[in-house]
Amino acid sequence: MTIDFLTMPDNEGYFGEYGGQVLPPEMKKIMDEINEAYDQVRKTEAFQKELSSLNKDYTGRPSPIYFASRLTEKCGGAGIYFKREDLNHTGAHKINHCLGEALLARYMGKTKVLAETGAGQHGVALATACALVGIDCEIHMGEIDIEKEHPNVTKMKILGCKLVPVSRGTRTLKDAVDSAFEEYLTDPVNFFYAIGSVVGPHPFPKMVRDFQSIVGYEAREQFLEKKGKLPDVITACVGGGSNAIGLFTAFLEDQDVKIVGIEPAGKGLDTEEHAATMTLGTKGAIHGFECYLLQDGEGNPLPVYSIASGLDYPGVGPQHCYLKDIERITYETADDRECLDAFMVMSRLEGIIPALESAHAIAYAMRIAADMDEDQEILVNLSGRGDKDADFVAQRLGL
Ligand SMILES: Cc1ncc(COP(=O)(O)O)c(C=O)c1O
């Protein structure tokens, strides 16, 4: 059976049985307005021209594909390649959808753009896009993440956004979403909630996927040009799932390309301190949509944990859930220890300090390379750079 992945989701925002709008009717109405505006504006030549010129001249797209020869030599086996989203302006893939969302907010005449952030990458990218477009920006961030990711906190302040520290619950990503959403609900007509991943109610999983898919379309063409063939395995870390779906979308119909998403196993899958939603979650609802969820017996999200602040979310994008169920994508895990090891090996062998989030996918590539042939290739989405994590890792490892 051939599946036309790009026509997904359906009109109600479902990818198979996941997604939708688990919201009161008045909020559904607002989401439908955003969907309509998005469907209209994205087809206009003016919007496409503006976004593509910003992608090129502002973000620095296309990001290159890099062959990591020393890492490959160390691991043995398959060649390891990176799609360098870490080289984008603001240091991660998040700018790809933030520019799109900020332009849409301006088009819709919204007065304030709001969002949550975990690692601070989405917050910095959104504050940047809002400065560029000229709209007020407000970012909610858990106190634990504020402490861990302070370089990004400083940047957000310099960029002129209002930073709201979140002190409830686990003081991390999920609580930041709850807090930002509450503020959004005070005036959803004039505010725009620019979700930081392929999560939330329809149309956000679709919209963020569309803006991020440039990563995979570029990568597919670049890889073919470089190697005359497609990679054997492509992989990316999965928090909400935006960098992963960004890389994967262009390859979904290439059945010979194995696609693997990497979730954080934190302190171990046999502990309560992980965020392996796809691996150990069950179907539930969070933040206005249905997905695999780490939940208690009453359907409440469980507290989750990862060394990478951008990955500790108890839910996951609905398209990922669907792609797991139809067995097009496999989901594996990497734990904190493997992540830190990959972070250091990548830094010392390649001179590239990766984001802790991305280091999960690097750890997986390092794990499988030796069992593959030398004429095979793995393409990893290097979703961001690790400047934000440098002090934390140095302290943790006593450097
Ligand atoms: C560099 C980087 N990679 C990955 C992620 C995880 O998000 P997603 O799964 O939506 O790509 C984040 C989130 O903050 C991030 O900063």
Three-state SS annotation for 181-198: HHHHHCCCCCEEECCCCC
* Catalytic site residue from 83, 85, 110, 116: 116
Mapped onto helix, strand or coil, the DSSP state of residue 228 is coil
Give Cβ neighbours of residue 89 (< 8 Å, ≥ 6 apart).
58, 59, 60, 95, 128
How far away, in angstroms, is 172 Cα from ligand 1 center? 14
Decide if 65 contacts 226 (C-beta within 8 A).
yes
Measured CA to CA, the distance from residue 236 to residue 85 in angstroms comes to: 11
* Closest ligand 1 atom to Cα of 117: 14
Which burial class, exposed, middle or buried, applies to 183 when counting CB atoms under 10 A from its CB (0-12, 13-18, 19+)? Answer: middle
Mean pLDDT (whole number) for 52-74: 98
Pick the CATH number of 62-91+213-397 from 3.40.50.1100, 3.30.420.40, 3.40.1190.10, 3.40.50.300: 3.40.50.1100
Measured CA to CA, the distance from residue 207 to residue 245 in angstroms comes to: 12
Give DSSP secondary structure letters for 368-396.
Answer: HHTTS-TT-EEEEEE-BBSGGGHHHHHHH
* Closest ligand 1 atom to Cα of 208: 10
Report the pLDDT value the prediction gives residue 149, as an integer from 0 to 100: 87
- Which residue has the least CA distance to atom 15 on ligand 1? 310
Q: What is the mean pLDDT of the chain?
A: 96
Q: What percent of the chain has pLDDT over 70?
A: 99
* Domain 16-55+94-209 and domain 62-91+213-397 have a common topology: yes
Report the pLDDT value the prediction gives residue 3, as an integer from 0 to 100: 65
Token representation of residue 111: 């007065």
Q: How confident is the model at residue 119 (pLDDT cuts 50, 70, 90)?
A: confident
* Predicted confidence (pLDDT) per residue in 318-367, tens digit: 999 999 999 999 999 999 999 999 999 999 999 999 999 999 999 999 99
Classify domain 16-55+94-209 at the CATH topology level. Rossmann fold (3.40.50)
* Predicted confidence (pLDDT) per residue in 263-279, tens digit: 999 999 999 999 999 99
How far away, in angstroms, is 193 Cα from ligand 1 center? 18
- Which residue has the least CA distance to atom 12 on ligand 1? 310
The residue whose CB lies within 8 Å of the most ligand 1 atoms, and thus the one to mutate among 311, 313, 364, is 311
Token representation of residue 337: 């220890």
Which burial class, exposed, middle or buried, applies to 25 when counting CB atoms under 10 A from its CB (0-12, 13-18, 19+)? Answer: exposed
Q: What percent of the chain has pLDDT over 90?
A: 97
Question: How far does CA 20 lie from the centroid of its chain?
Answer: 19
Mean pLDDT (whole number) for 34-61: 97
Find the radius of gyration of the CA atoms of the chain. Answer: 19
Active site residue 226: no
* Catalytic site residue from 179, 197, 309, 383: 383
User: Where along the chain do its domains lie?
Assistant: 16-55+94-209, 62-91+213-397
Measured CA to CA, the distance from residue 179 to residue 177 in angstroms comes to: 5
* Catalytic site residue from 94, 110, 174, 206: 94
Measured CA to CA, the distance from residue 214 to residue 54 in angstroms comes to: 13
- Which residue has the least CA distance to atom 5 on ligand 1? 310
* Predicted confidence (pLDDT) per residue in 192-229, tens digit: 999 999 999 999 999 999 999 999 999 999 999 999 99
Residue 161 DSSP class: P
User: Is the whole-model pTM more than 0.95?
Assistant: yes
Checking if the pLDDT of 2 tops 60, the result is: no
The residue whose CB lies within 8 Å of the most ligand 1 atoms, and thus the one to mutate among 237, 249, 278, 304, is 237
CB atoms within 10 A of CB 394: 10
Decide if 124 contacts 150 (C-beta within 8 A).
no
Active site residue 94: yes
Q: Is the CA virtual torsion 346, 348, 350, 355 positive or negative?
A: positive
- Which residue has the least CA distance to atom 10 on ligand 1? 242
Element (H, E) at 329: strand 329-335
Q: How confident is the model at residue 1 (pLDDT cuts 50, 70, 90)?
A: very low
How far away, in angstroms, is 26 Cα from ligand 1 center? 30
Q: List pocket residues of ligand 1, CB cut-off 6 Å.
A: 92, 118-119, 121-122, 197, 237-244, 310-311, 355, 357-358, 383-384
The residue whose CB lies within 8 Å of the most ligand 1 atoms, and thus the one to mutate among 63, 85, 86, 94, is 94
* Predicted confidence (pLDDT) per residue in 277-292, tens digit: 999 999 999 999 999 9
Tell me the HSE value of 361 on the side-chain side, using a 13 A CA sphere. Answer: 31
Decide if 194 contacts 127 (C-beta within 8 A).
no
Q: Helix crossing, 318-325 with 204-212: angle to 10°?
A: 80
